[in-house]
Amino acid sequence: MEPRNQWQPSHVQGIPLVKLAEEYGTPLYVYDGERVAEQYRRFAGVFDEDVQLRIKFACKALPNLAVMQLLGSLGCGIDAVSIEEVELALRAGFPPGAICFTPNCVSFDEIRRGVEHGVVVNIDDLSLLERFGHEYSDRIGCGIRINPHIVAGGNPHIQVGHIDSKFGISILQVRHLLRIVENYGIRVVGLHMHTGSDIYDANVFVEGAQVLFDLAEHFPLLEYLDLGSGFKVPYQPGDIETDIAEFGATMSGAFREFCRRYGRPLQLWFEPGKYLVSQAGYLLVEVTVVKQTVSSLFAGVNSGLNHLIRPMLYDAYHHIVNLSNPSGKPRIYSVVGYICETDTLAWDRPIAEIRQGDILCIMNAGAYGFAMSSNYNARVRPPEVLVWEGKPLLVRRRETLDDLLATQRSLHQALTDLRTVPTEQCSP
């Protein structure tokens, strides 16, 4: 159920956000596990019962073991885009058959390791597909990622289905694709596509699905069609979002008709990431300084692009609320970070009056927040707290300087190591 006012959060499952900031310190990522579960059930519930739906969480959005396990307990699988994400999912307890692996621009070694782990691999490059056929022939099935050349609209920074995208095998290369499949006897078990993010028009998905429906006639052994994701979630009051109920009804009918023409039912896969976790996440930061210049009023906070890079990378909007003074008179602020770069989290934003020491809540921080964080300026990354069944659970501790140094060697140590290596190991 939606909060009474989702744009003015104060509590998560009855726990004051300010209290969490006091207990765990700031900056702090907080995830509402009930909201994650709600989004999963909402998505799963809009499709007709006769559709063999499989939902794979795009774990690149939030690669946290506890969050992944929570979704796994609901019946969700995992969408991985690197071999490390595959192995993370396996460590989280997902069976190989629940994991799909769709890498891009990787060495064939990653493909091979995915096969060895027993996960479903989607190939998105003709040369890798040819190598796959040479090595496995029809012994191991694979999926194929298609670039449908569809411009999905929305933020151009996060669209990947256009003709100039690095992702997928172009729909214009189908004849070459079919020759490779035939010559090597490759067993194609799935077709995959993903056109981008922040797509709110259900017709865009149906248009993309039709590309796969038409292509499927060339592959008699298919087990699934994977339509990726990209569903639009709201980022501010009044924002548009994908009508999931309409989408589910439309796609259920289209997929049912496709299966009838194909001659047997297939599984329908989706890979939501942002849709499942974005709105469940909050980044809590403390105001370190309120600084008036000749042209702007800045609220400086103890975080920055090292913890939430989306505003700088994608010009993304994240709603910001003053938890410490929610009823204060709004003023126009630019919220900036403590990184030695242009480091603006929000430009010219009306926010309830901000004072030094106030706790601000940056919303929609569940997806691609911590996942894209860094140690720039030697700053440590925040802890993550998952609120589940009314209890705050520390699911990632705050980093320390020792963590940053754990993989480094001082000059003295490196020289000492060099001197202690046997001479025969140093010779060319």
Does some domain include residue 50? Answer: no
Please state the rounded mean pLDDT for residues 397-415: 96
Same domain, 108 and 249: yes
Mean pLDDT across the stretch 386-400?
98
At residue 163 the predicted structure's pLDDT band, cuts being 50, 70 and 90, is: low
Domain count for the chain, please give it. 2
Q: Is residue 55 part of a domain?
A: no
Please give the pLDDT value at position 354.
Answer: 98
Other C-beta atoms lying within 10 Å of the C-beta of residue 406: 9
Mean pLDDT of the chain: 93
Q: What's the confidence (pLDDT) of residue 425?
A: 56
In a domain, 361, yes or no: yes
**pLDDT > 90: percent of the chain:** 86
Q: Which three-class secondary structure string do you get for 412-428? A: HHHHHHHHHCCHHHHCC
Look at residue 280 and tell me whether its pLDDT is greater than 80: yes
Average pLDDT over residues 11-27: 98
pLDDT at residue 154 greater than cutoff 90:
no
In a domain, 81, yes or no: no
Q: Which of 251, 272, 293 is the last residue of a domain?
A: 272
Expressed as residue numbers, the domain containing 176 is 102-272
Residues 208 and 171 reside in one and the same domain: yes
- pLDDT of res. 149: 84
Query: Are 255 and 290 within one domain?
Result: no
Give residue 153's pLDDT band: very low, low, confident or very high (50, 70, 90): low
Name which of 71, 74, 32 is nearest 279 in CA terms.
Answer: 32
- Residue-level pLDDT at 4: 53
Same domain, 181 and 307: no
Indicate if the pLDDT at residue 205 is higher than 90: no
8-26 average pLDDT score? 97
**Mean of the pLDDT values across residues 248-265?**
96
365 and 377 share one domain: yes
Name the band, by pLDDT with cuts 50, 70 and 90, for residue 1: very low
Task: Provide the CATH number for the domain around residue 243.
Answer: 3.20.20.10
pLDDT value of residue 132:
97
Indicate if 241 and 162 belong to the same structural domain.
yes
- 62, 280, 300, 357 from 235: Cα distances, Å: 18, 12, 22, 25
Distance CA 237, CA 235 (A): 7
Same-domain pairing of 242 and 282: no
pLDDT at 160: 45
Contacts of 108 (CB under 8 A, 6+ apart): 128, 131, 132, 135
What is the DSSP annotation of 31-94? EEHHHHHHHHHHHHTTS-TTSEEEEEEEGGG---HHHHHHHHHTT-EEEESSHHHHHHHHHTT-
Could you tell me if residue 118 is inside a domain?
yes
390 belongs to a structural domain: yes
428 shares a domain with 376: yes
- Of the pLDDT bands very low, low, confident and very high (cuts 50, 70, 90), residue 169 is very high
Residues 190-213 have a mean pLDDT of 82
**Rg of the chain taking only CA atoms, in angstroms:** 24
Does 382 lie in the same domain as 304? yes
Q: How far apart are CA 156 and CA 34, in angstroms?
A: 31
Least confident of 21-30, 200-209, 276-285: 200-209
**Average pLDDT over every residue of 194-218:** 83
Tell me the pLDDT tens digit for each residue of 100-140: 999 999 999 999 999 999 999 999 999 999 999 999 999 99
* Last residue of one domain, picked from the residues 272, 287, 317: 272
Which CATH number do you get for residue 348? 2.40.37.10
Q: Is the pLDDT of residue 158 over 50?
A: no
282: tokens are 């909050």
Residues 312 and 348 in one domain: yes
Q: What is the arithmetic mean of pLDDT over 304-333?
A: 97
- What pLDDT, on the 0 to 100 scale, is given for residue 150? 79
Q: Which pair of structure tokens corresponds to residue 368? A: 């691609």
- Asked whether the predicted pLDDT for residue 152 surpasses 80, the reply is no
Global pTM? Answer: 0.92
Q: Which of 237, 252, 272 is the last residue of a domain?
A: 272
pLDDT band at 258 (very low <50, low <70, confident <90, very high): very high
Q: Is residue 74 part of a domain?
A: no
How sure is the predictor about 176, in pLDDT bands with cuts at 50, 70 and 90? very high
- The active-site residue, picked from 142, 340, 361, 426, is 340
423 in the same domain as 365: yes
pLDDT band with cut points at 50, 70 and 90 for residue 159: very low
- What mean pLDDT is predicted for residues 54-79? 98
Annotation says 259 is catalytic = no
Residue 2 banded pLDDT, cuts 50, 70, 90: very low
307 and 246 within one domain: no
Assess if residue 305 is contained within a domain.
yes
